[in-house]
Amino acid sequence: MTKRGLQYFTLSEIEPRIWFMLTGCNFHCKGCFRPARDEGGTKLTAEETLERMEQACLNYYGKVPTEAMITGGEPTLDKEYLLSLVRGLKAKGFKKIVLMTNGYALGLDESYVPELEEAGLTEAHVDVKAFSEDVHKWYTGESSKPVLRAIERLDASGIKLVVQTVYMPGIVEAQEIEKIAQFLASVNRDVGYRINPFAPIFAYERVTRRPTLAEMERAYEVASQYLPNAIISRSCYREYPTPPPQKTWITVYPDLTVKRRGMEDQREDRLSWLSEVKSRESVVKDWRKEEWDFSLRRSLVGISESPARQSDPKGETGQGPLKVKFPHSLHGLTKTQETELDLDGATTVREVMERLAAKYSDKFRDTVLNVDKGDLITIKRSFNVYLNGVDIESLQGMKTEVYGNDEIIILSWVSGG
Ligand code: SF4
């Protein structure tokens, strides 16, 4: 039975969900930001990995969850191991099993995708680093053709497909993204496509700079001409509410020791990894700068950088309608990206939510709100509500006052990537 290196599991603090971080990769992306790409971790068979996963989840949640994300590094390197892992997860009752991959091995081996589907894989997130062969080879060391073939095979299977690309100024820009979008549209124009901004602080080699908002918007415009389900977001392989990022997460190591880790711990991991190619001082300096620079991240999800406005119902700010923006996941229900509500004086977030539920059906209420027997209404854990750019949880929750001209943004969690 073959073994693979397991760096750690990550457990969600939001709802039962587990990530498997496997080590090793067949690509050598210059801008890689994952220490797991190198060999390392504890070598385990798929059965041993599943046993430790089960124990980690029982210890932390008291049960085994139903959602798993298999990531790395590159999880597809050992087919026998991956198929056994997916089969084992399915046998333990997992309903959503997501593979995050560069797709290369799936394109080389014709039977890999059908076997993964049969094993129980439900979703695959494939990174397309570049479309052009020369760019792809220069950046990853390998051809793009198997990756593109993998996308065709996944689309033809019953596995849900999501594709992502990192925007890298001077390397993968709107023109390259247009080629990827054209290719994807030729396969299936309804495929989900996410464009993430390059983050040099995390990169093994600082091959380029962060893109500007204008560059990201341009790439989005180009991609959406071909793909109605294109979005721009930031790269992330855990889960974050967006924004602000989740400050801590639960890491369980293969020996089952548990640590609640935060940005400082992540910085230390990256520092020791990057110290192979950069000085510690320069990484620390960049990290500090990056940690405070959420402007692009916020702009990408439409959050204003300005602090919450102190609305004044008697002044000019309280006279206009309230604007409400919906996340992509609710557009099917609302049939619109945003709406306006006329307010007769001050109201509360709770009343706004009730008006939205009345306007958009019980399905909206069931999807977004928890209503308990005592008529207490809260926002479901999979959504965040922001008033003028500030999470209502840091204000007065559902009792937060709202005035005309205010802006409410409902966001759903971003995961994977
Ligand atoms: S970015 Fe992903 S595919 Fe590229 S080397 Fe790093 S882990 Fe491998």
Burial class (CB in 10 A: 0-12, 13-18, 19+), 213: middle
Handedness of CA 342, 346, 347, 352 (dihedral sign): positive
Integer CA distances (angstroms), 394 to 13, 326, 334, 352, in order: 18, 20, 27, 18
Which helix H or strand E contains 239, and what residues bound it?
strand 239-240
Quote the ligand 1 centre to 62 CA distance (angstroms).
33
- Of 23, 34, 142, the one to substitute when testing ligand 1's pocket (max ligand atoms within 8 A of C-beta) is 34
Residue 256: the pLDDT is 97
How high is the pLDDT of residue 296?
Answer: 59
CA of 23 to the centre of ligand 1 (A): 10
Give the mutation target among 37, 99, 127 for probing the ligand 1 site: most ligand atoms within 8 A of CB.
37
How is 139-186 classified by DSSP, letter by letter? HHSS-SHHHHHHHHHHHHSSSEEEEEEEEBTTTB-HHHHHHHHHHHHH
Claim: this prediction has a pTM higher than 0.75: no
- In the structure encoding, which two tokens stand for residue 315, read together? 């002044």
The pair of three-digit structure tokens given for residue 249, joined into one six-digit string: 């997460």
pLDDT at residue 299, as a whole number: 54
Rounded CA separation 296/197 (Å): 9
Backbone angles phi, psi at 369, to 5 degrees: -115, 150
**How many A from CA of 29 to the centre of ligand 1?**
5
Residues having CB within 6 Å of any atom of ligand 1: 25, 27-29, 32, 34, 37, 73-74, 102
Give the number of other Cβ atoms within 10 Å of residue 329's Cβ.
15
- Atom of ligand 1 minimally distant from the CA of 72: 7
pLDDT at 373: 67
Query: What is d(CA 173, CA 181) in angstroms, rounded to the nearest whole number?
Result: 12
* pLDDT attached to residue 366: 87
Q: What are the backbone angles phi and psi of residue 231, rounded to the nearest 5°?
A: -140, 160
Amino acid at 264: E
Kindly give the distance from the C-alpha atom of residue 279 to the centroid of ligand 1, in angstroms, as a whole number. Answer: 22
Alpha carbon distances (Å) from 226 to 54, 275, 344? 42, 41, 42
> What is the pLDDT, as a whole number, of residue 287?
62
Query: What is the chain's pLDDT, residue by residue, as a tens digit (417 residues)?
Result: 799 999 999 998 767 889 999 999 999 999 998 889 998 999 999 999 999 999 999 999 999 999 999 999 999 999 999 999 999 999 999 999 999 999 999 999 999 999 999 999 999 999 999 999 999 999 999 999 999 999 999 999 999 999 999 999 999 999 999 999 999 999 999 999 989 888 887 788 888 888 887 888 889 889 989 998 888 764 333 333 333 345 677 899 999 999 988 777 877 887 788 877 777 777 767 666 655 455 555 555 443 333 344 444 444 455 688 989 887 778 888 988 889 998 877 789 999 998 999 899 888 888 898 887 666 788 887 787 888 767 787 677 888 888 888 888 887 654 332
Is residue 151 within 8 A of residue 195, CB to CB? The reply is no
Beta-bridge partners for 96: 67
Provide the 10 A C-beta neighbour count for residue 269.
15
Mutate to test the pocket of ligand 1, among 27, 104, 166, 273 (most ligand atoms within 8 A of CB): 27
Which token pair is 310?
């102190």
- Centre of ligand 1 to C-alpha 168, Å, is 15
Domains of the chain (ranges, CATH numbers)? 3-300 (3.20.20.70), 316-415 (3.10.20.30)
d(CA 67, CA 86): 12
- Output the CA 52–ligand 1 centroid distance in Å: 25
Residue 38's nearest CA partner among 10, 5, 79 is 5
Ligand 1 atom nearest to CA at 26: 8
d(CA 88, CA 78): 15
Ligand 1 pocket test, pick from 7, 26, 29 with the greatest ligand atom count within 8 Å of Cβ, gives 29
The total number of residues shown for the chain amounts to 417
DSSP code of 200?
G
Q: How far is the CA of 142 from the centre of ligand 1 (A)?
A: 11
Amino acid identity for residue 132 in this structure: S
Dihedral over Cα of 336, 178, 412, 67: its sign: positive
